[in-house]
Amino acid sequence: MNATSPHAASSVSDEEIARFSALAEQWWNPSGPMRPLHAMNALRIDWACRHLPLRGSTSRRAKILDIGCGAGLASEALAKAGYDVLGLDASANGIAAAKEHLSTHPLPEHAGPLHYRNGSAEDLVAEGSQFDAVVALEIIEHVTDPAAFMDMLAQLVQPNGTVIVSTMNRTLRSLAVGKIGAEYILRLLPIGTHEWRKFILPSELGQYARAAGLRMIAMAGMAPGPMGWKETRDLGVNYIAAFTKY
């Protein structure tokens, strides 16, 4: 989300943007600082696709907005799944890395179109843009006002459209596993990646969604396992939810 936007105060944290901008060049390294995102990406995309609109024909592909796309892990996967994707991020470095990866790793012929934009959700709202679905993966815990952010997601999706959000639950287990364990003990993430107090309870996410005119249609936990990340009923650490617009 562009720090120069006149609306930026409702969602953008300059500190968060700077932190992730510094990681942009390493984003696509599966063994680098974003390796947890690489590990969970297949699960979250598979789950999202089960709840997103039908891909449609090549003449009318469902249009998906991937907010906080970083260097494009989810955006590329969604395009490969057949969607028409716009990846949006406030970090110019992240978008540059996304475009660079796309230029050196062309999508297969069956993929949908993929475009990237450096900017904010507020910019798109001001333009009156709307999409068949909006995807916000591991981003809401990094914005300045999650309730306002959910409201923007609702404004950016068409009536009866779908919003997909994944985030981390604010529990003692997520503090131990997702913060202390991942950042300080296992060093899976750079120290300071997450602020535990900004993790979102499922009840809070549901409250923000209802206030924004969104109805929850599905929710699942996501957990690592010996064979990779898997869907679970346990919402204690990572979870993903789907909503539809009234």
Q: How crowded is residue 228: how many other Cβ atoms within 10 Å of its Cβ?
A: 10
Residue 6 clears pLDDT 60, i.e. is over it: no
The CATH number that domain 8-245 falls under is 3.40.50.150
Residue 58 has pLDDT above 80, yes or no: no
pLDDT-derived band at 59, boundaries 50, 70, 90: low
pLDDT at residue 178 in the model: 80
Please state the rounded mean pLDDT for residues 143-166.
96
The b/e string for 23-51 (b: 16+ C-beta within 10 A; e otherwise) is bbeebbeeeebbebbeebbebbbebbbeb
CB atoms within 10 A of CB 6: 10
172 is in an annotated binding site: no
Q: What is the pLDDT of residue 53?
A: 85
Q: What is the pLDDT of residues 192-246, one digit of tens each?
A: 777 888 999 999 999 999 999 999 999 999 999 898 999 999 999 999 999 999 8
Given a cut of 70, is residue 1 above it in pLDDT?
A: no
Mean pLDDT over each residue of the chain, to the nearest integer: 90
44 is in an annotated binding site: yes
Task: Say if residue 68 carries a ligand binding annotation.
Answer: yes
Domain ranges for the chain: 8-245
Q: Do the annotations mark residue 137 as ligand-binding?
A: yes
What's the confidence (pLDDT) of residue 57? 55
